[in-house]
A and B are shown apart, each in its own frame.
Chain A
Amino acid sequence: MLETVKTLCALSGASGYEDDVRNYVLERVMPHADKITTDSMGNLIVSKKGKVQGSRKVMLCAHMDEVALIITGIDDDGYLHFDYLGGIDRRVIIGKRVYIGKNRTLGVVGIKAYHLVDKDEEKTVPKREDMYIDIGAKNREDAKSLVSLGDPVVFEDGIEEFGDGFIKAKALDDRVGCAALIELIESELPCDCIFVFTVQEEVGTRGAKVAANTVMPDCAIVLEGTTAADLPEVPEGKRICRLGYGLVIPFMDKGTIYSRSLYKTITELADKNEIKWQTKTMIAGGTDASAVQRSGIGVDTIAISAPLRNIHSPSSVAKISDFEEMPRLATLLLGKLAAE
């Protein structure tokens, strides 16, 4: 699974521009799937039969898109202006390198040299509209030959394994979920399942909304990367979840109160099978569950998440042992659902 995560994280998949990720996933799942469709939004919907049909229609989903930027302007001197695709704390993009558009033009988010910054300025962060991307262009015409308005911008894609089983990469949110789905599709399933690789989660769970309408599941499992704030300056009660303490099974986040019965079932399964798990200790973040749960006549929904530090930054960090258990826990839950 680790190798799949690395491959997926290196791909560009800004919200609304998930093509590269979808193409890769398609290639991987094609030999194992019974039916594959792509809808108008770009969601990839993959059906695969299991040992039994199951009494309830089960959908598993993970989102392909990552937080990113989008080019909104090119100035006379050839510098680019941008807006966000998804929630970004602009402090994490200062002085970072990025890839722009289909041709992957390399650029850098510039900042005035420290020597030229006064004391007051040092305490503030440039506004987004005053920030810019430098692609080494000489002027507007030169820049226009390399990039276009509307080009998506993703972070540089260096991947590092470090410390005691940690990995650093962009887009771990939610390529860990996508990798888990691929693992599941490649395995023998306890029951028939429909897998959805969704688009546009980061701009408001927009892919999942229509995918759920297409699939019309009875129950759904959302595989995600979630916010960990287990940092020294953060008091215990605000850490949300912690790396190295296993998968995160939330009872609630900003978008969803998860199915109480599924929460009970899955946490009991984790305990019984000695899979480390934790829940969120603060109501923060949201997942595709918010869209799926309230689709159609309503869907029984649960999430399994991997804790991530520096989420929504070019340098997200995960503990490998946390996310590696994701397919196993999902399979156990599918086994339970198959037996219903």
Chain B
Amino acid sequence: MELKQIIFELCDLASPSGFEEGAFGRISELLEPFVDEIKTDAMGNLIAAKKCGKSGAKKLMLDAHMDEIGLIITDIDKSGFLRFSNLGGVDPRMLPARELKILTDPPVFGVIDTMPPHALESGDSDKSIDAKKLYIDVGLSEEEAKRRIPLGTPAVFATGCKCLTENVICGKSLDDRACVSIIIKAMEMLKDADLDVDVYCLISTQEELGMRGAVTGTFSIDPDCAIAIDVTHASTPDSKKGETMEMRAGAAIGVGPNMNQNITSKLFEVAKEKNIPFQTEVMGGSSGTNGWVIQVSREGVSTAVLSLPIKYMHTPVETMDIEDASAVANLVAEFVKTLGKEDM
């Protein structure tokens, strides 16, 4: 399957933090032809293993998270409007007039209502609205809403992926389903390769709530070395220079204390040798990815962080270039191929 097609399909799935069963099944199906076993754990992580069959082989873990930011219904008022809290970092400024899919079975469509401009006071438009003052309109009475939507039901943005240009994809949950897709693609590239390491894929849960799935997933896999693959910020007209990477400049290789030097330098070598476009992302502290918890799992895991630059992260219109995603997938696959025992 084309990488773009995998991304479109996975991003359209609803998989908010803590409710990742919406993505688990399809990701398993896509990984299955390329791995030897797939299992899950108490946190809902998807753990897939491809064994090289060589005795004493070391374990490499590839991580990407399958959860996306979302909302969770906390109350239903007497007019049938739903109150909500956030699952992960949700900018309240992009919520007015936002369309949602509320994850009942079957799902319920909802819109976050907003005051009409005719009824606003001057200056109102300059102020953002606190999420606590917003509510979801599902077009149902209180009784019917309560019957159909139990408290604790999660919701996601109702925005499917579309292409802005042939290569530029725009939609929800590219963070981090695009990188889950990258892992699937890399595993496909490695299908017939003669490897010296066992490759484990950790498709983790609850990253958006503080890297929770990766904590138990890494403990369970007990890898020798790992690459956390996540999205990073691409520059936009309203971002500061130096805060962001560039879109269309290739895979962002993380550098800093969260990234172990041995494995990181090997990533740079492979990228140069194979002519894979890359850029360097320097991070002083936490990489803000699962790499942060993976690195200090058990007795420590040699960790690298590879990132896909995207714009408008955590909005329903995250935007990326497919060429960058291909670069990350190629780099992962080439890196795994060259990895031997001496590297860990």
Q: Which residues of A pack against B, CB within 8 Å?
A: 75, 77, 79, 87-92, 94-97, 106-117, 122-126, 130, 132, 134-138, 158, 160, 162-166, 168, 227-234, 238, 240, 254, 282, 284-285, 309-315, 317, 319
Query: Is B316 an interface residue, CB under 8 A from the partner?
Result: yes
Q: Which residues of A contact B141 (CB under 8 A)?
A: 164
Give, as a whole number of angstroms, the nearest-CB distance from B70 to chain A.
14
Q: Give bound CA distance, A134 to B311, whole Å.
A: 10
Q: Is B163 an interface residue (CB 8 A)?
A: yes
Q: Would you call A111 and B319 a contact (CB within 8 A)?
A: no
Asked if residues A313 and B314 are in contact (CB atoms below 8 Å), the reply is no
- With A125-B127, A160-B109, A162-B139 in contact, do A92 and B96 touch (Cβ < 8 Å)? yes
Q: Which of A108, A311, A317, A319 has a CB less than 8 Å from the CB of B312?
A: A108
Within 8 A of A (CB), among B271-309: 288
A111 / chain B contacts, CB cutoff of 8 Å: 91, 93-94, 238, 312, 315
Pick 20 A–B contacts, CB within 8 A, sort by A: A89-B124, A95-B312, A108-B317, A113-B236, A116-B240, A122-B93, A125-B126, A130-B238, A135-B165, A136-B321, A163-B108, A168-B99, A227-B118, A232-B135, A254-B118, A285-B118, A310-B114, A310-B116, A311-B116, A317-B113
Checking B98, B119, B137 against A317 with a beta-carbon cut-off of 8 angstroms, the contacting residue is B137
User: Are A232 and B77 closer than 8 Å at their CB atoms?
Assistant: yes
CA distance A95 to B240 in the complex (A): 19
Complex: A123 Cα to B110 Cα, angstroms: 25
Give a binary string over B228-244; 1 marks a CB under 8 Å from any A CB, 0 the rest. Answer: 00000100111110011
A138 to B234, CA, bound (A): 13
Chain B residues closer than 8 Å to A95, beta-carbon distance: 94, 98, 312, 315-317
Number of interface residues of B (CB under 8 A): 67
Contact A115 B288 (CB under 8 A): yes
* Chain B positions within 8 Å of A240 at CB level: 116, 118-119
Chain A contacts for B128, CB-based, 8 A = 91, 122-125
A228-B313 Cα distance, complex, nearest whole Å: 33
B237 A309 Cβ-Cβ under 8 A: no
Closest to A158 in B: B99
- Rounded to whole Å, the gap between the CB of A113 and the closest CB of chain B is 4
State A166–B81 Cα separation when bound (angstroms): 14
Q: Which residue of A lies closest to B110 (CB)?
A: A162
Given contact pairs A112-B236, A315-B99, A164 touches B144 in the complex (Cβ within 8 A): yes
A163-B311 in contact (CB<8A): no
**Are A125 and B114 in contact (CB-based, < 8 A)?**
no
B42 contacts the other chain (Cβ, under 8 Å)?
no
Q: CB of B115 within 8 A of chain A? A: yes
A97 to B93, CA, bound (A): 15
Q: Are B248 and A116 in contact (CB under 8 A)?
A: no
User: Taking A89-B117, A310-B116 as contacts, is the C-beta distance between A124 and B94 under 8 angstroms?
Assistant: no
For A313, the closest partner residue in chain B by CB is B97
Q: Contact check, A94 vs B94: say whether CB atoms are below 8 A apart.
A: yes
B344 within 8 A of A: no
Chain A residue numbers with a CB within 8 Å of B164 are: 106-108, 134-136
Contacts of B81 in A (CB 8 A): 231-232
In the complex, A126→B237 CA distance in Å? 12
> B residues within 8 A CB of A117?
91
**In the assembled complex, how far is the CB of residue B236 from the closest CB belonging to chain A, in whole angstroms?**
6
Most chain A Cβ neighbours within 10 Å, of B91, B109, B158: B91
Task: Report chain A residues within 8 Å CB of B236.
Answer: 110, 112-113, 134
Task: Report which of A77, A115, A166, A311 forms a contact with B313, defined as CB distance below 8 A.
Answer: A115
Complex interface residues of chain B between 147 and 184 (CB less than 8 A to chain A): 158-159, 162-165, 167-168, 170
Chain A contact residues: helix, strand, loop or mixed: loop
Judge whether B140 is part of the interface by a CB distance below 8 angstroms.
Answer: yes
B124 to A, closest residue via Cβ: A89
B117–A317 CB distance below 8 A? no
Q: Which residues of chain B are within 8 angstroms of A312 by Cβ–Cβ distance?
A: 116-117
Asked whether any CB of chain A lies closer than 8 Å to the CB of B120, the reply is yes
Residues from chain A with a CB closer than 8 A to the CB of B117 are 87-89, 311-312
- B319 cross-chain contacts in A, Cβ below 8 A: 108, 110, 134, 136
A124 touches B168 (CB 8 A): no
Residues of A contacting B77 with CB < 8 Å?
Answer: 232
Min distance, Cβ B187 to any Cβ of chain A, angstroms: 28
Known: A137-B165, A229-B119. 6 other contacts (CB 8 A): A88-B117, A94-B93, A116-B240, A136-B167, A285-B118, A315-B99
- The one of B135, B159, B237 in contact with A75, judged by C-beta atoms closer than 8 angstroms, is B237
Q: Is the CB of B139 within 8 A of A317?
A: yes
The reply to whether A310 and B125 contact each other, CB–CB distance below 8 Å, is no
Question: In the complex the two chains form, what is the Cα distance from A94 to B91 in whole Å?
Answer: 11
Beta-carbon nearest neighbor of A109 in chain B: B317
B340 sits at the interface (CB 8 A): no
Q: B93 and A92: CB pair below 8 A?
A: no
Q: Give the complex CA separation of A106 and B164 in angstroms.
A: 5
Q: Does B33 contact A (CB under 8 A)?
A: no
> Given the complex, which residues of A lie within 8 Å of B92, measured CB to CB?
122
CA–CA, A247 to B117, complex, Å?
21
Contact B126 A124 (CB under 8 A): yes
List B contacts of A158 (CB < 8 A): 99, 158
Q: Are A309 and B312 in contact (CB under 8 A)?
A: no
B residues in contact with A113, CB < 8 Å: 233, 236, 239, 311-315
Tell me the smallest distance from the CB of A110 to a CB of chain B, in Å.
5
User: In whole Å, how far is B110's beta carbon from the nearest beta carbon of chain A?
Assistant: 7
Tell whether A227 pairs with B238 under 8 Å between CB atoms, given A113-B233, A136-B165, A168-B111. no
Choice from A165, A227, A285 contacting B139 with Cβ under 8 Å: A165
Q: Which of B60-101 contact A (CB under 8 A)?
A: 77, 79, 81, 89-94, 96-99
Given the complex of chains A and B, what is the CA–CA distance between A27 and B40 in angstroms? 58
CB distance from B157 to the nearest CB of A (A): 9
